[in-house]
Amino acid sequence: MAGLLICFVLLAAFLVQLKKHKSYSQESGNPFLRTFLDKGIYGEYKTYSILEKVPGYKRILTNLYIPKKDGTMTEIDLVMITEKGFYVVESKNFGGWIFGDEKQKQWTQVFSPRNKNRFYNPIMQNAGHIRAIRQLLGIENNHLFKSFIVFSERCTLKKVTVHTKDITVLKRNRLALKIKENLLASPACLVPEEIDGFYTLLNCYTHADHTIKEKHIHNINENKLRGNNVVTMIQRRKR
């Protein structure tokens, strides 16, 4: 009897998660199992679920591959279009201690004194995402865009410094409150018809096929290699 009860509870929990996942799956194209087995995608899904509950008229897009002027593409985790503007979200499902400054090119993730990882400044990363969207849509007004860098609840933002007004770095458990505060403090600038129009235009750049994703990964690896070569050259000059 106890075994049947446990099976029933597990089945009920699975069906609840499946129902919650349906909207995200339609937008992202990520199936249920992949979402819950991939740490990065799961973090994005949790952020999407929070954005879905934000009050007011909105449209949400995920996993956009937007072309840039140089012929490469930039991958954007989440964009929420509201009457108050565009909320462009970079999801970082990281653990550890996080150190970084808005003006530093590299940030640091620390698990222990001997276990540290460097990663590209997510504020700069998201600024590139916003530039790509603005260029694509022909929007000159940068104040229509809010940059949100969302880290996992598992991390500690040990020392993160942000100087610019429309940039927010926070843990996911504070996202709902912070976005609601931002919406209340911001003037309306888009009407529902404009929101739907921008959504339709950007939706063409979601659900990228395997070829586009592989090309994007190849471009990232090439940029890393160039960066490593430059560092090596500088180090040699100093010797």
Q: In the chain, what percentage of residues exceed pLDDT 70?
A: 78
Buried b (16+ CB within 10 A) or exposed e, 44-66: bbbbbeebeebeeebbbbbbbbb
What does the domain layout of the chain look like in residue ranges?
Answer: 40-216
Structure tokens at 25: 């799956």
pLDDT at 29: 76
Residues in the chain: 239
Tell me the pLDDT of the chain averaged across its residues. 84
Q: What is the mean pLDDT of residues 74-85?
A: 96
Q: What is the mean pLDDT of residues 186-192?
A: 96
> Cβ of 133: how many Cβ atoms within 10 Å?
23
Structure tokens at 89: 């979200």
Does the pTM surpass 0.75? The reply is yes
- Whether the predicted pLDDT of 34 surpasses 50: yes
Task: Give Cα 98 distance to the centre of its chain.
Answer: 17
pLDDT tens, position by position, 60-71: 999 999 988 888
